[in-house]
Amino acid sequence: MTVLVTGGAGYIGSHVVRLLQQQGRKVLVIDNLSSGVQERIGEAVLVPLDLAAESATERLTALMAEHGVDSVIHFAARKQVGESVLKPEWYFEQNIGGMAHLLDAMKNSDVRKLVFSSSAATYGIPTEDYVGEDYDCKPINPYGQTKLIGEWMVANAERAWGLRGANLRYFNVAGAGWPDLADTAVMNLVPIVFAALRDGKAPVVFGSDYPTPDGSCVRDYVHVLDLAEAHIAALDYLERENRKHATFNVGSGKGSSVFEVLAEIKKVSGIDFETDVQDRRAGDPPYLCANVSRIKDELGWVAKHDLHDIIQSAWDAQN
């Protein structure tokens, strides 16, 4: 049986594709290559397709039958918070429209297992430093809203036609499991700092007066390879009849401040750079870290790599 991976040519998806291939599982990748790169997926079958296109349901239904698909991991989505604020309709069309087509095709094909890429952006600005899954989510931008709605779509499909869903709420994903699978988008802290260093600029720190130990924001960094393994654990979990939960935080459960990340980058790179400390940015909570007890208890998954491994692997992959 085949695992369909949407967005499999992307940064995180390609790590999961590689793990599945190493396990000898058959993989079908569907990706419109808007940010994905075909070379990342090696010999895996790739069908270029825009999930948000009107004809996508029909096409997906045919592909599921043709390839004997029995489970889906759904990564394909647009993920830039700022862009989602400027183009909200398009974000809903892409992320929600695409997911509706996918679920429709799964229902048509009686494919009942889905692992969905959700995000810590669903939480908005939590008042808990280490937030748990039952927290009342109030996303503060269209991107985060599309992820929370995606989780609701999973819950509705579970009730309506027996889907088995697992929503994985990723925290700050970084690092590289293999040198050719680096995060090439300059959107998260680690690639942003690397890009600044390449350009000979001082990395910017937004806010040093937060109520945190060193004044900079604290986030939960998870190694992309650990995250990829969480998807395999989630697929196995969906085989179980006695599933207590559908939503899981995926993080290390350990907070690292922006200054701590910068110090680790200095150590790994050997470059003693200056930093450009500016005012706080709107919408940045002081802490956004994961309570990881549920995923540990239910899926038996814990992050194995620490901040040093994350930075070292990202640095090695870009050099």
Neighbouring residues of 147: CB distance < 8 A, sequence distance ≥ 6: 77, 95, 117, 118, 119, 121, 122, 139, 169
Q: Which stretch binds ligand NAD (CB under 6 A): 30-38, 122-130, 153-161, 299-307?
A: 30-38
Q: Which of 91, 123, 130, 143 is catalytic?
A: 143
Start-to-end C-alpha separation, the chain: 38
* Single residue of 2, 18, 20, 31 touching ligand NAD by CB under 6 A: 31
Give the CB-nearest residue to ligand NAD. 10
DSSP letters for 172-236? EEE--SSGGG---STTSHHHHHHHHHHTT-PPEEE-S-SSSTTSS-EEEEEEHHHHHHHHHHHHH
> Cβ(230)–Cβ(301) under 8 Å?
yes
Q: CA-to-CA distance for 204 and 169, rounded, in angstroms?
A: 27
The alpha carbon torsion through 28, 70, 19, 171 (nearest 10 deg) reads: 100
Q: Which residue stretch of 3-11, 204-212, 233-241, 276-284 sits at the interface with ligand NAD (rule: CB under 6 A)?
A: 3-11
Annotation says 143 is catalytic: yes
CB of 9 to ligand NAD, least distance (A): 4
Give least dist CB 14 to ligand NAD, A: 8
Is 28 a binding residue for ligand NAD by CB under 6 A? The answer is no
- Interface size with ligand NAD, residues (CB under 6 A): 27
- Tell the smallest beta-carbon distance from residue 133 to ligand NAD (Å): 15
Segment contacting ligand NAD by CB under 6 A, of 17-25, 77-85, 101-109, 203-211:
77-85
Structure tokens at 33: 């290559």
Query: Of 2, 57, 79, 105, which lies in the binding site for ligand NAD, with binding defined by CB under 6 A?
Result: 79
The binding track of 152-191 with respect to ligand NAD, each residue x by CB under 6 A or -, is ------------------x--x--------------x---
Among 2, 57, 71, 117, binds ligand NAD (CB under 6 A): 117
Nearer Cβ to ligand NAD (34/156): 34
**How far are the Cα atoms of 91, 108, 121, 140, 295 from residue 229, in angstroms, in the given order?**
28, 29, 21, 29, 12
Does position 220 bind ligand NAD by CB under 6 A?
no
Question: Of the two residues 16 and 111, which places its CB atom closer to ligand NAD in the complex?
Answer: 16
287 touches ligand NAD (CB under 6 A): no
52 lies in the binding site for ligand NAD (CB under 6 A): yes
When asked if residue 141 is in the footprint of ligand NAD (CB under 6 A), the reply is: no
Measured between alpha carbons, how far is 117 from 165 in angstroms, rounded to an integer? 11
Contacts of 80 (CB under 8 A, 6+ apart): 143, 187
- Give 115 or 208: the residue with its C-beta nearer to ligand NAD: 115
Contact between 98 and ligand NAD per CB under 6 A: yes
Nearer of residues 39 and 209 to ligand NAD, judged by Cβ: 39
Residue 251 CA to residue 239 CA, distance in Å, equals: 23
What is the contact surface with ligand NAD in residues (CB under 6 A)?
7, 9-13, 31-36, 50-52, 75-79, 94, 98, 117, 119, 170, 173, 188
- The catalytic residues are 143
